Amino acid sequence: MGRAKTGMGNNTWTKSESKSETSRDAQREAKRRAVLQAGARLFNDRGYEQTSLEEIAAALKITKRTIYYYVQSKEDILFGCHQLGLEFLGATMAQSQDETLPVLERITLLIRGYCEWVSSDLGATIAMVREHSLSAERRNILRASKAEVDFQLRALIAAGVAEGSLRACDPKLATAAIFGALNWIPHWNRVEDPVPHIEIAEQYLQLILTGMLPRA
């Protein structure tokens, strides 16, 4: 019986230790995300090259030395911003892949979600910070992720044209025009009184779909 009690005690200690480690990991990840968010805001407002790690640390009221506990470099922050932002965009893409929904509804979901994403600090970094700021390996990873979104919208437009819900067009050119307009949003809307992304999405959708729907 004594050994049984000892075993239970060890299991309890192991579970407690595991919970403690999980809590520490969660706290560290939350602080890392705070570093990325602060970096994204400053990169978008001041420019990547013009922003230093000291300024990011000052925005968070921590020391530059503390930042190195969460990231290795300024480029690491930029790449982390892209990765974190693409996590949100991934959820939007998953919604638009639901084949039980009409094609036009799936296109609408993707455009609305992209508009919300590119209006956020993290999403705006992809539109506002040039790719050459990243290493070649990381540029390739980013381009592959962006290509997935591009190809998904192309496929949806092609499906709409095939079924007749959209007028005949080149899906590649139509997609380039749509993302060109969406990616320009943070360039003109980072002002003191920005237009809400919901309003932008509705206006853009009206313009886009009006131009792509079949003529009566």
Q: Model confidence over 111-120: pLDDT tens digits?
A: 999 999 999 9
Residue segments in the chain with a per-residue pLDDT below the cut of 50: 1-10, 12-14
Q: What's residue 17's pLDDT?
A: 52
Half-sphere exposure of 46 (CA within 13 A, CB side): 14
Q: What's residue 57's pLDDT?
A: 93
Distance CA 113, CA 95 (A): 9
Report pTM: 0.81
Residue 92: give its domain's CATH number: 1.10.357.10
Q: Is residue 89 exposed (0-12), middle (13-18) or buried (19+ Cβ within 10 Å)?
A: buried
Spatial contact of 79 and 160, defined as CB atoms under 8 Å apart: no
Residues contacting 142, CB < 8 A, separation 6+? 79, 82, 126, 131, 134
Q: What's residue 112's pLDDT?
A: 94
Tens digit of each residue's pLDDT (9 = 90 or more) over 118-157: 999 988 998 888 878 888 898 898 888 888 999 999 999 9
The tokens describing 107, both together, are 């296109």
- Residue among 126, 158, 129, 119 nearest 143 (CA): 126
Q: Which domain holds residue 61?
A: 2-212
- Domains: count for the chain: 1
